[in-house]
Amino acid sequence: MKTTTRVAVIGGGVVGCSVLYHLTKLGWSDVMLLERSELTSGSTWHAAGGFHTLNGDTNMAALQGYTIRLYKELEAITGMSCGLHHVGGITLADTQDRFDMFVAERAKHRYMGLETEIVGPEEIAKMAPIVNLDGIVGGLYDPLDGHLDPSGTTHAYAKAARMGGATIETHCKVVETNQRPDGTWDVVTEKGTIHAEHIVNAGGLWAREVGAMAGIYFPLHPMEHQYIVTDDIPMIYERGSEHPHVMDPAGESYLRQEGRGLCIGFYEKPCKPWAVDGTPWDFGHELLPDDFDKIEDSINFAYKRFPVLETAGVKTVIHGPFTFAPDGNPLVGPVPGVRNYWSACGVMAGFSQGGGVGLTLAQWMIEGEAERDVTGLDVGRFGKWITPGYTRPKVIENYQTRFSIAYPNEEKPAARPHRTTPMYDIFDGMGAVWGHQFGLEVVNYFATGDEPRYETPSFRRSNAWNATAREVAAVRNGVGINEVQNFGKFSVTGPNARAWLDRVMAGRMPKQGRMSLTPMLSPNGRLWGDFTVSCLSETEFQLTASYGAQEIHHRWFLKNQMDGVTVENISDRRTGFQIAGPKAREVLAACTRDDVTTMKFLDVRRMVVGQVNCIVQRVSYTGDLGYEIFCDPMDQRQLWNTLWTVGEPMGMKPFGMRAMMSLRLDRFFGSWLREFSPDYTAAETGIDRFIDWKKNSDWIGKAAAMAERETPPARQAVVFEVDADNADVTAYEPVFHNDAVVGFCTSGGYSHHAGKSIAFALVPRDIVTDDLTVEIEILGSRRKAKRIETPLFDADGAVLRG
Ligand SMILES: Cc1cc2nc3c(=O)[nH]c(=O)nc-3n(C[C@H](O)[C@H](O)[C@H](O)COP(=O)(O)OP(=O)(O)OC[C@H]3O[C@@H](n4cnc5c(N)ncnc54)[C@H](O)[C@@H]3O)c2cc1C
């Protein structure tokens, strides 16, 4: 056995083999896979082998599309068969809401290049005659759906990897992973120790145990899952062609032809987590005992939807475990805080996603970044706050709602509240309707009077409408208050703090007592963050950015460390409030002995507010006159008492994220992972206006950004006023120009201040004119939209700067 390798991939399921193949494909041949038994010895061997492209997350859908197209390439390279059946699939809609969701999904597919189709009951009857169409409104047809042979496909990946120089060691259980001081790893196996530069955890069902060997907790959990294969059914085998897949979300089932019969699996509500305290090492090629009790309701529903099943005998029952992360997406990428340790686990749909996961990870390891925004599957999207106690209920919830309608405003309840600030009880007592961000409870809006404490999930304007309008008005006409907890915050200290910032950030770094806004770029010039930098002294800066991206940003900072600088993630060590609106200055002035009238826009000062030491910044994402007031969490309630006691008699009202996201529209402020994301470059989004082209430092992404400055990118960010009805743009709606899809929306919403529906979109630069008019498809209806360039509030910046 080899004793040194550049990469040791632990786990020979479909995911590990795909990672191994992609490493060789991208040029690393000194790579090795270690499998405790034979290949496919985890979830992989008993998978139903189905694959599909549909995914609410467009980057996941792209990754799934890549996986499916890869199989033909694998067959060609290896001469092996993946047992492909490209039969197409229909997902049924039994309610108008579900149909709306499909129409919205179909709209996104237009610019993603996916040839899905909305089909009516008559077409469904022709394509899938076994469906009982009672109550069916329509469906979404995807020609790319199909299934394959799980074992054949995994072995094809393995053969392709071997052909690229990789080594595969079976019956070689990894028992320890020990890091050396230089960041490399000793991978101790039953056959001896291997010295590896990098480790990839592709341990699937045992990923938790493999992670624990290095002291890492991976937030995933195995769930039991069952599918049934029937005896031969004449109506199936007498057809001239293979029956398409049918997904029936109402019955939580997926169905396809298997030989001369059918195969049907369920995502049942009474589901069961498996191996709660750890996956036994001796679990191998066995199945779990049949459990018809938990799928009884699902089976009865299936009998009604597919009456042919009722008389079909059961040939085989497959009941096995596979793993899920709390949000159902894979856990991929460099594990934050652990050098040279990579994750490729939590992949619940290995045959839809395995290829894309392999490609993503290989690009990340070899080229330093993946080709598209991978935040949705980044292992860094969960923080250190996550525990098995949180993961398990979330995984159960995700399993149970796998086929549920996914509404853009939905807040799922399991495992909440998990993290709360000292304000939780106070805001709750004031009627807070809570949202959830990176484990933290964040107020969406405040219900008053008889308003329900629950926002109805909807594709249309929700019942939060009145409350949001009320809170927007309170800010624009008086003063509003909310928490600043949900910012990611970093403290950058040391003699080289400014030099480091000048390298990591593309923008101009502020002078002492000032703030600046800046993009952070990857070497390829893609957006890695949009930061606010505050200079407290020449050796102390505060950074604020997205709360949900804090681990991802911190990982990037550690990768780009410099001597003489300390970067600390202080997201949960500094909290406080924002006050915003025309009366904000009056409120602050009444709470401090400092002269706040001399504070200009983008000034930052240390100040005692009431009796609390604070950092006060004159800035507000609402676009209004406003202040962010940061303090120690232990002081937060005292700070609240001061601000509220003074502010309430002046008409101050609390406001939540729904109002904040409406207010930002008025000034065309972009938002992280909407307008700004690693999918886009600075010039595409317009955030390049904050780049300091003159600074001398060699900032990351400089060459790429400079090149774009010479040759502007093909796409441009544009704001539209939309002739909307009762639904606004959320994200990824297609933009039509002269009847062709030319772009898509990055986000949008309703400006309660201006009474207008607003959309932010990326469109081809060469069609952009002052009076550009397009159509945007919202829930299947094409709405007229005209370009606007003048902000809807404070167009001349007088309020902001005044
Ligand atoms: C009943 C059922 C039906 C399914 N149907 C589908 C479907 O239709 N389509 C689909 O896409 N997905 C389906 N899945 C899910 C699919 O099986 C998984 O997504 C996929 O198998 C995950 O692959 P993996 O490589 O991540 O993990 P695994 O297959 O679990 O592989 C992990 C491997 O790592 C090895 N390993 C672990 N620890 C060590 C160690 N310490 N040393 C060495 N080796 C180690 C294990 O032996 C194992 O071979 C289904 C799952 C089940 C249970």
If you measure from the C-alpha of residue 14 to the centroid of ligand 1, how many angstroms do you get, rounded to a whole number?
Answer: 7
On the CB side of 76, CA atoms within 13 Å amount to 5
- Confidence category of residue 110, pLDDT binned at 50, 70, 90: confident
Alpha-carbon 633 to chain mean position = 28
Q: What is the DSSP string of 674-714?
A: TTBSTTSBHHHHTGGGGB-TT--S--TTHHHHHHHHHS--S
Cβ of residue 222 lying under 6 Å from some atom of ligand 1: no
Nearest protein Cα to ligand 1, atom 2:
47
Cβ-proximal residues to 247 (8 Å cutoff; 6+ apart), any chain: 89, 90, 91, 92, 253, 254, 255, 403
Can you tell me which atom of ligand 1 is nearest the CA of 321? Answer: 53
Q: Which residue has 């007088």 as its token pair?
A: 798
Cβ of residue 336 lying under 6 Å from some atom of ligand 1: no
Cβ of residue 102 lying under 6 Å from some atom of ligand 1: no
Cβ of residue 349 lying under 6 Å from some atom of ligand 1: yes
Cβ of residue 34 lying under 6 Å from some atom of ligand 1: yes
Q: Residue 403 above 90 pLDDT?
A: no
Distance of alpha carbon 739 from alpha carbon 719, whole angstroms: 19
Q: Ligand 1, residues 1, 17, 32, 43: which to mutate, most atoms within 8 A of Cβ?
A: 43
Can you tell me which atom of ligand 1 is nearest the CA of 147? Answer: 8
CA distances for 728 relative to 461, 762, 779, angstroms: 7, 17, 9
What percent of the chain has pLDDT above 70?
100
Distance of alpha carbon 567 from alpha carbon 287, whole angstroms: 49
Angle 458-461-465 from CA coordinates, rounded to 5°: 120
Q: Convert the pLDDT of each residue in 161-210 to its tens digit.
A: 999 999 999 999 999 999 999 999 999 999 999 999 999 999 999 999 99
Cβ of residue 352 lying under 6 Å from some atom of ligand 1: yes
If you measure from the C-alpha of residue 652 to the centroid of ligand 1, how many angstroms do you get, rounded to a whole number?
Answer: 55
Nearest protein Cα to ligand 1, atom 13:
47
Q: Convert the pLDDT of each residue in 273-283 to its tens digit.
A: 999 999 999 99
Q: Which residue has 């800035």 as its token pair?
A: 619
Cβ of residue 322 lying under 6 Å from some atom of ligand 1: yes
Average pLDDT over residues 50-73: 89
pLDDT of residue 100: 87
Q: Convert the pLDDT of each residue in 347-384 to its tens digit.
A: 999 999 999 999 999 999 999 999 989 999 999 999 99
If you measure from the C-alpha of residue 326 to the centroid of ligand 1, how many angstroms do you get, rounded to a whole number?
Answer: 17
Give the torsion sign (CA, 391, 392, 397, 398): positive
10 Å CB burial of residue 398 (0-12, 13-18, 19+) is buried
pLDDT of residue 802: 85
Can you tell me which atom of ligand 1 is nearest the CA of 41? Answer: 49
Cβ of residue 153 lying under 6 Å from some atom of ligand 1: no
If you measure from the C-alpha of residue 438 to the centroid of ligand 1, how many angstroms do you get, rounded to a whole number?
Answer: 27
Q: Which residues pair with 578 in a beta bridge?
A: 482, 628
Q: Ligand 1, residues 17, 44, 246, 361: which to mutate, most atoms within 8 A of Cβ?
A: 44
If you measure from the C-alpha of residue 177 to the centroid of ligand 1, how many angstroms do you get, rounded to a whole number?
Answer: 21
Cβ of residue 36 lying under 6 Å from some atom of ligand 1: yes
Question: Which one is predicted more confidently, 109 or 582?
Answer: 582
If you measure from the C-alpha of residue 88 to the centroid of ligand 1, how many angstroms do you get, rounded to a whole number?
Answer: 24
Q: Residue 113 above 80 pLDDT?
A: no
Question: Which one is predicted more confidently, 57 or 228?
Answer: 228
If you measure from the C-alpha of residue 747 to the centroid of ligand 1, how many angstroms do you get, rounded to a whole number?
Answer: 36
Q: Residue 117 above 90 pLDDT?
A: yes
- Confidence category of residue 290, pLDDT binned at 50, 70, 90: very high
If you measure from the C-alpha of residue 284 to the centroid of ligand 1, how many angstroms do you get, rounded to a whole number?
Answer: 11
Can you tell me which atom of ligand 1 is nearest the CA of 15? Answer: 25
- For 166, other C-beta atoms within 10 Å of its C-beta total 24
Q: Lowest-confidence range among 47-56, 235-244, 584-593, 718-727?
A: 47-56
Nearest protein Cα to ligand 1, atom 37:
203
Cβ of residue 225 lying under 6 Å from some atom of ligand 1: yes
- The secondary structure of the chain in percent helix, strand, coil, rounded to multiples of 5, reads 30, 30, 40
pLDDT of residue 172: 98
- For 750, other C-beta atoms within 10 Å of its C-beta total 24
Nearest protein Cα to ligand 1, atom 49:
41
Structure tokens at 625: 């006159």
Cβ of residue 43 lying under 6 Å from some atom of ligand 1: yes
- For 323, other C-beta atoms within 10 Å of its C-beta total 27
Cβ of residue 356 lying under 6 Å from some atom of ligand 1: no
If you measure from the C-alpha of residue 541 to the centroid of ligand 1, how many angstroms do you get, rounded to a whole number?
Answer: 46
Q: What is the mean pLDDT of the chain?
A: 96
Given a contact cutoff of 8 angstroms between Cβ atoms, the answer to whether 531 and 537 are in contact is: no
Cβ of residue 320 lying under 6 Å from some atom of ligand 1: yes
If you measure from the C-alpha of residue 266 to the centroid of ligand 1, how many angstroms do you get, rounded to a whole number?
Answer: 18
Q: Which residues pair with 654 in a beta bridge?
A: 481
If you measure from the C-alpha of residue 13 to the centroid of ligand 1, how many angstroms do you get, rounded to a whole number?
Answer: 5
Q: Ligand 1, residues 20, 264, 322: which to mutate, most atoms within 8 A of Cβ?
A: 322
Cβ of residue 42 lying under 6 Å from some atom of ligand 1: yes
Nearest protein Cα to ligand 1, atom 12:
349
What percent of the chain has pLDDT above 90?
94
Q: Which residues pair with 174 in a beta bridge?
A: 189
Cβ of residue 146 lying under 6 Å from some atom of ligand 1: no
Q: Which residue has 């208050």 as its token pair?
A: 481
Can you tell me which atom of ligand 1 is nearest the CA of 204? Answer: 27
Cβ of residue 346 lying under 6 Å from some atom of ligand 1: no
Cβ of residue 203 lying under 6 Å from some atom of ligand 1: yes
Cβ of residue 253 lying under 6 Å from some atom of ligand 1: no
Nearest protein Cα to ligand 1, atom 51:
47
Q: Convert the pLDDT of each residue in 153-164 to its tens digit.
A: 999 999 999 999
- Confidence category of residue 212, pLDDT binned at 50, 70, 90: very high
If you measure from the C-alpha of residue 168 to the centroid of ligand 1, how many angstroms do you get, rounded to a whole number?
Answer: 17
Cβ of residue 10 lying under 6 Å from some atom of ligand 1: yes
Given a contact cutoff of 8 angstroms between Cβ atoms, the answer to whether 712 and 753 are in contact is: no
Q: Which residues pair with 273 in a beta bridge?
A: 223
Q: Which value, in Å, is the radius of gyration of the alpha carbons in the chain?
A: 27
If you measure from the C-alpha of residue 205 to the centroid of ligand 1, how many angstroms do you get, rounded to a whole number?
Answer: 6
Q: Convert the pLDDT of each residue in 137-158 to its tens digit.
A: 999 999 999 999 999 999 999 9
If you measure from the C-alpha of residue 263 to the centroid of ligand 1, how many angstroms do you get, rounded to a whole number?
Answer: 19
Cβ of residue 50 lying under 6 Å from some atom of ligand 1: yes
For residue 33, the one-letter residue type is: L
Distance of alpha carbon 548 from alpha carbon 6, whole angstroms: 32
If you measure from the C-alpha of residue 227 to the centroid of ligand 1, how many angstroms do you get, rounded to a whole number?
Answer: 16
Average pLDDT over residues 549-574: 97
Cβ of residue 85 lying under 6 Å from some atom of ligand 1: no
Cβ of residue 46 lying under 6 Å from some atom of ligand 1: yes
First-to-last alpha carbon distance for the chain, in angstroms, is 72
Q: Residue 62 above 90 pLDDT?
A: no
Average pLDDT over residues 230-238: 96
If you measure from the C-alpha of residue 321 to the centroid of ligand 1, how many angstroms do you get, rounded to a whole number?
Answer: 8
Q: Residue 780 above 90 pLDDT?
A: no
Distance of alpha carbon 168 from alpha carbon 1, whole angstroms: 10
Q: Residue 305 above 90 pLDDT?
A: yes
Cβ-proximal residues to 744 (8 Å cutoff; 6+ apart), any chain: 108, 111, 732, 733, 734, 735, 761, 762
Can you tell me which atom of ligand 1 is nearest the CA of 318? Answer: 1
Q: Convert the pLDDT of each residue in 45-58 to its tens digit.
A: 999 999 998 887 88
If you measure from the C-alpha of residue 729 to the centroid of ligand 1, how many angstroms do you get, rounded to a whole number?
Answer: 38
Q: Residue 112 above 90 pLDDT?
A: no
